[in-house]
A = this chain, B = another copy of it.
Amino acid sequence: MKNITIPIQKIKEIAGEHGTPYHIYDEKVIVNRLNQLISSFNWVPFKEYFAIKANPNPHILKIMKENDCGVDAATVSEIKLAEEVGFEGEDIMFTSNLTTLEAYQYAVERGCIINIDWAADIYELYEAGIIPENICFRLNPGSIKNEIMGDSSESKFGSTASQIREAVAFLAKKDIKNIGLHTMVVSNENDPAIFKEYTEMIFSFARELIDEFKIEVDFINIGGGIGIPYLSEEEVDVNAIAEAVKESYVKVLSNSDIEAKIFMESGRYVTGESGYLVTEVIKEKETFKKYLGVDASMSDLMRPGMYGSYHHLTNITAQERGEEEREVYDVVGSLCENNDKFAVDRELLKSKIGDLIIIHDTGAHGHSMGFNYNGMLRNAEFLYTQNGEFKKIRRDENFQDYTNTIIGGY
């Protein structure tokens, strides 16, 4: 049982008028998460840089802007999306990797914070005369001291401590004495102990750099990584996480001469729970298992098919008709691909063709990961605004869109 924060009546109305499947996001939930996050870090200068990849619709990015957040862009396309709603300069963190000089140039010209994945890039940038005003380095801690954080040495991201040290020494000689640091070693994690552990690691590294090179660390971007409760309606205790970060901050960094800001680049935590994928049961089928076929597919939400992720499902129509019987189903999409399943062996209220099923927590890494496999077209997005308006913010893809890049003459 999970809450649905959008009026059911309206969800049904949109389904009737526009058709299913569609994505809908609740602005209130997004703003609420931002407020929770920001207020839990009120003990330190703090800024959230929303991870665009989680939900790149400009209408969503605009909510970040209105709530004094920045955005985190992984590619030049994402910087362009951010620019569409007026983000500029230091409000854009460019956290790319395998970054070309061309991409760096695009970001540097716009004054973005340049979060450098591969520390050695800095030498190349200087050689090419592309000098970022705001430089940040991304640390890959590798398989560090303890077991709680697991092993980052299989992660393709970031640079080692000694590589960053070398780059900082290089910058210090150029009289650049103000940098940022970044690491992201957890994903979908809610355990404060883990946040304490890994922020202590990155804070200690900042401390070492400060002491060794007499530089200032302007900010420490502790990444995203806060999970959401896909399985329950329990809220994430973001205060406990912030409290854990505070403990390591106070322990490692707090003294008169260090005032590093804390940045985050949360995606999932900010928009994940705001989103619902609304889909209709279009087929009941029983072979060796009971299947509910729905009109959404992996093109709308790839996480269950790609990672085996859990997304809660609510049959709102069965709820409304007071259905009491329950059944165990595989809930599947129509892709010609056997992993196109939203749920396997899931107990739901007994469902019928025509019922509307809500797939929960699809506000992050949902539409943005959709593909066109099997000629599937990606679906529309709606926003339920804070003042109770329902706005279509993306139309359905059509066959013309799908074939746009094909060159004729066959």
Q: Which residues of A contact B (CB under 8 A)?
A: 52-53, 56-59, 62, 73-78, 80-81, 84-85, 95-100, 118, 120, 140, 142-143, 152-160, 163, 282-283, 285, 287-289, 291, 293-295, 302, 306, 330, 332-336, 338, 340-341, 368-378, 380, 392-397, 399, 401-407, 410
Q: How far is the CA of A368 from the CA of B333 in the complex (A)?
A: 18
Asked if B336 contacts A74 (CB within 8 A), the reply is yes
Report chain B residues within 8 Å CB of A80.
Answer: 375, 399
Q: How far is the CA of A376 from the CA of B302 in the complex (A)?
A: 16
Asked if B100 contacts A374 (CB within 8 A), the reply is no
Asked if A405 contacts B399 (CB within 8 A), the reply is no
Asked if B410 contacts A100 (CB within 8 A), the reply is no
Asked if B98 contacts A57 (CB within 8 A), the reply is no
Q: How far is the CA of A163 from the CA of B399 in the complex (A)?
A: 35
| Known contacts A375-B78, A399-B77; is-contact A289 B153 (Cβ 8 Å) | yes
Report chain B residues within 8 Å CB of A57.
Answer: 406
Chain B proximity of A210: nearest CB distance (Å)? 23
Taken together, the copies of this chain in the complex come to 2
Asked if B282 contacts A98 (CB within 8 A), the reply is yes
Checking B100, B154, B287 against A158 with a beta-carbon cut-off of 8 angstroms, the contacting residue is B287
Asked if A156 contacts B394 (CB within 8 A), the reply is no
| Known contacts A57-B406, A336-B95, A394-B405; is-contact A285 B118 (Cβ 8 Å) | yes
Q: How far is the CA of A152 from the CA of B288 in the complex (A)?
A: 9
The 9 closest A-B pairs by CB, nearest first: A77-B375, A98-B293, A153-B288, A98-B334, A371-B371, A74-B336, A78-B375, A98-B283, A74-B374
Checking B73, B84, B100, B373 against A368 with a beta-carbon cut-off of 8 angstroms, the contacting residue is B373
Asked if A97 contacts B153 (CB within 8 A), the reply is no
| Known contacts A62-B410, A98-B333, A375-B56; is-contact A341 B287 (Cβ 8 Å) | no
Report chain B residues within 8 Å CB of A376.
Answer: 75, 77
Report chain B residues within 8 Å CB of A374.
Answer: 53, 74-75, 77-78
| Known contacts A397-B405, A405-B378; is-contact A410 B293 (Cβ 8 Å) | no
Asked if B97 contacts A293 (CB within 8 A), the reply is yes
